Amino acid sequence: MAMATDVPRDGFRLSMLVYDTRYRSYTIQVVVLVLFGLAVAWLLNNTVQNLEARGKQFNFTFLWQRAGYDIGQQLIPYSNDSTHFRALLVGLLNTLVVAFFGCIFATILGVLVGILRLSHNWLVSRLMTVYVEMFRNVPLLLWILLSYVLLSEVAPQPKDFRITDEMAAAGEAPAASMILWDSVAITNRGSNIPAPLFERGPGTLDLGFMTLNLNFWALVVVIAASVWVNRRILGSARATQESTGFRPVTWWKSLLVLFAPTLVMLLAMGFQLEMPELKGFNFSGGILVAHSFTALVIALTLYTAAFIAEIVRAGIQAISKGQSEAAFALGLRPGRTMKLIILPQALRVIIPPLISQYLNLTKNTSLGIAVSYLDLRGTLGGITLNQTGRELESMLLMMLIYLTISLIISSVMNFYNTTVQLKAR
């Protein structure tokens, strides 16, 4: 007996691709994909024809030509005799180091400001509100320029650190002095900080296109291994607490695991610090950190932290007040309630928009060109582009690199987001 709900089993007809809802969505997707492919093919063909009309060929051989320009801040060896590809790597590393420090500092400051905005202290909450409204409503470029001008104009000159014989005889102090136990000198030319030196160790590895500092990576491996072991110790303690109700003492184990291997590694490699010293008309020794880098990190941190603060505030307010009231009823103090109960739950709301702020900060590093900071935008998208005349290749390559960095950041943060989500049981 046939039921009214049975679907008739007719043979397949071409008209079903349009009129049958089971196949219509696939038909639309195929049509859109074909049209998109045709549009891309037309665009590429039109581009190639226009380049040929101008006597140009689409290739990336210019990357292996001599760059011929200097880069002030460099994390890998570079000179004006290096290739444009080497300059690209230097600019990429400059971009990544600004993005790395900017994300860390902006997150710390943003979380702190977001929590303080909810303080019951009227003065504290209003001061944080003024900070947020002031920094997020003024263009980032202006904050970068302001930070650079303040560092360049307010900081003393190197000669102000000099002590003459007459000053020493009269017992007078110099106009300016170094900070942090005479280890850091901030002048109008930059910030001179101690440089790490290793008497022993694996040295460096030349890969042709870049040089790896094996001493640095050995320390990174040791620190990463220490963090992993510490997480295992804390996880074991947490499991013991959940099963028995007793949490074993782990603080001394954590301190030993986190610091002992690193200290042993530093001693084994003969670690020491090279302090900057005033010689002649400038400081020598140590590491010179350009004001363009410092200004860019400061501006990006303060600007992005204002947006992160609002994200944190919204995430905290999304948690029911009953959670705090229950914690207070159990005798937890406000600080531990925020750390152990509110923030872990608020992360589910905070992390998705936080990813967008990390991406914005990474892309905003390109504004460093305004203060002569040669990152990826300043090298590949600036001097290299102007010298070689390869506008299309430089722009496409730069867009691809920024896209890759953004996708990596999104993937890592999305993976972390899945680890803090509530697990259904």
pLDDT tens per residue across span 212-256: 778 888 888 999 999 999 999 988 988 888 888 788 888 898 999
Q: Would residue 170 count as lying in a domain?
A: no
Q: What is the pLDDT of residue 8?
A: 52
Q: What is the pLDDT of residue 337?
A: 85
Q: How far, CA to CA in Å, does 4 sit from each of 7, 20, 30, 346? A: 8, 19, 33, 51
Q: How far apart are CA 94 and CA 376, in angstroms?
A: 7
Q: Would residue 177 count as lying in a domain?
A: no
Q: What is the pLDDT of residues 138-195, one digit of tens each?
A: 999 999 999 999 998 888 888 888 887 787 777 788 888 888 888 888 888 888 889 8
Tokens of 19: 């009129």
Q: Would residue 342 count as lying in a domain?
A: yes
Domain hosting residue 339, numbered range: 61-150+290-388+397-420
pLDDT, averaged per 10 consecutive residues of the chain (425 residues), comes to 52 74 81 92 85 80 90 85 91 94 95 91 93 94 94 87 80 83 87 87 71 82 92 89 84 90 90 86 86 94 96 90 84 82 86 93 94 92 89 90 94 86 62
Q: Would residue 252 count as lying in a domain?
A: no
Q: Which helix (H) or strand (E) holds 172?
A: none
Q: How far apart are CA 213 and CA 203, in angstroms?
A: 6
328 contacts: CB under 8 Å, gap ≥ 6:
334, 337
The domain total for the chain is 1
Tokens of 111: 């979380």
Q: Would residue 143 count as lying in a domain?
A: yes
Helices (H), 159-213: 165-170
CATH number of the domain where residue 123 is located: 1.10.3720.10
DSSP state of 83: B
pTM for the full model? 0.84
Q: Would residue 301 count as lying in a domain?
A: yes
Q: What is the pLDDT of residue 1?
A: 47
Q: Would residue 269 count as lying in a domain?
A: no
Q: Would residue 131 count as lying in a domain?
A: yes
